[in-house]
Amino acid sequence: MEPGPRQLHTEIISWFTANGRDLPWRKPDCTPWGIFVSEIMLQQTPVVRVLPVWEQWMERWPNPAALAAEPSGEAVRAWGRLGYPRRALRLHAAATAMTADFNGTVPDTYPELLTLPGVGSYTAAAVASFAFGRRETVVDTNIRRVHARAITGSALPAPALNAAEMRLAVSLLPEDDAASVAWNASVMELGALVCTARSPKCESCPVLSHCAWVAAGKPAPDYVPKGQAWSGTDRQVRGAIMAVLRHAASPVPRAALLGPGDFLPAGILPDDGGDPARPETTALAQLHAIKAPEEQLERALAGLLTDKLAEETRTGLQLPG
């Protein structure tokens, strides 16, 4: 007999209460701004990498106005190695909008959150739910995977979110506001810790006895997820160039970015936290170690300028001012 939604709510929320991670953005005293920042940082980035950067951001920029008061380039610099640095620009733009349009606070409803630059339906729903206790349907990859296995018996959700998945998510959401928030957090955590994509820990699952996927014999997925390549890609080159710009004290000449043989004036790029006796540990040396062809370097530079992650001055390239 299939369990009803109330049984699923009870079992999964109880599991979360006992097993959920103690994360700073889940603490009762975390501000809506702290939750907003965490949601942006956690997109496509694991918690272990986000934690130290989030803590540094909250110490430096405890509210939207503090971030909005600084150049967008400082947000990109502080983003460090989280990846997808356009998220840093979106955070800065959102902080600027909050400061100008919402008296320096995070808007507390889904429609208002959607008006912020770079905020889509997932982020708006997640912030409305986790920061303000609103009853909103939060659907991320982890949640979709739990729904797919436990309810529909599929090994993986569809490659892209579809209407049927949204209808299922809406139908499973508790009517009570507080319970809906707990449900969103609980299913997301279950997908992150137990019902993982590659090696699910089914023996630890609170709904193992009535999981449709397990009952069906754990059929294989009907498609093979494509991992994102890294080595040799434009993304790798862009990331390496961004590392140089983040560590630079002044504009970096274009020629120095394009070729290891070009002269780089002293003082522009200090050693990148490595052993000073090993110049190969600098960000610039790491960029050149990729051995990217000049056309790829030029393409990466052009993309960073177009995306406003960098700007070019008379003396070279730097983070946006």
CA torsion sign for 161, 116, 309, 36 is negative
Contact 41, 87 (CB under 8 A): yes
Q: Is 39 a catalytic residue?
A: yes
CA torsion sign for 207, 210, 214, 220 is negative
Q: Three-state secondary structure along the chain?
A: CCCCHHHHHHHHHHHHHHHCCCCHHHCCCCCHHHHHHHHHHCCCCCHHHHHHHHHHHHHHCCCHHHHHCCCHHHHHHHHCCCCCCHHHHHHHHHHHHHHHHCCCCCCCCHHHHHCCCCCCHHHHHHHHHHHHCCCCCCCCHHHHHHHHHHHHCCCCCCCCCCHHHHHHHHHHCCCCHHHHHHHHHHHHHHHHHCCCCCCCCHHHCCCHHHCHHHHCCCCCCCCCCCCCCCCCCHHHHHHHHHHHHHHCCCCECHHHHHCCCCCCCCCCCCCCCCCCCCHHHCHHHHHHHCCCCHHHHHHHHHHHHHCCCCEECCCCEECCC
Rounded to 10 deg, the angle between the 32-41 and 121-132 helix axes is: 140
Q: Residues 39, 136, 165, 189: which is the catalytic one?
A: 39
Rounded Cα–Cα distance for residues 78 and 98 (Å): 20
Contact 236, 287 (CB under 8 A): no
Give me the active site residues, please: 39
